[in-house]
Amino acid sequence: MPPKVELYVEDDFNELSPIAFVSIGETHFPISAAIWENWFNCWLEILRFDLPSAPSYEIGLRLTNDSQIQTLNAQYRHQNKPTDVLAFAALEVDFPQSEEMLASMPLSLGDIIVSLDTANRQAQQQGHSLSTELAWLAAHGLLHLLGWDHPDEESLGRMLKQQVILLNAIGIAIDIE
């Protein structure tokens, strides 16, 4: 049975004016919580061998601005500047979980925070849509939640290639060359 994710999307912006869109041809759709959840379910299926065993998984996704992500970046990474994505992995915390708990509740993988301000700038610099950049950053955050890291160029290359695979799986073609 494929892994299932319960995704909690928190959007710090007015829901009446969508800030992120999925583009299909000439048509633009807001990225709904259902679309995000479909993407994460697809990605977890691909990454199932990186997942600890659980009946389902839980991930928090927060879309915010540069000011709020800078505060978090300064607090947790001691870098007082905005960044594109932060990932707070729950699996890095040594938290005892009983067999009953694991069988009945989703396993929290952690939280991903994305700055829409930075994502929008990066999308323009890369020449692709905001939805492509948001998917790219969310996939990057997910890999961090599962223990991937990029302390050197070789591991960064592996991680970027995995992100391309994840985006291709949801129908987003991206070239990192």
Structure tokens at 20: 């992120």
Q: Choose which CATH entry (3.30.420.40, 3.40.920.10, 3.30.1490.20, 3.40.390.30) describes domain 5-169.
A: 3.40.390.30
pLDDT greater than 60 at residue 19: no
pLDDT greater than 70 at residue 17: no
Q: What percent of the chain has pLDDT over 90?
A: 59
CA 126 to chain centre: 19
Neighbours of 73 (CB within 10 A): 19
Domain residue limits, the chain: 5-169
pTM of the model: 0.86
Neighbours of 89 (CB within 10 A): 17
pLDDT greater than 90 at residue 96: no
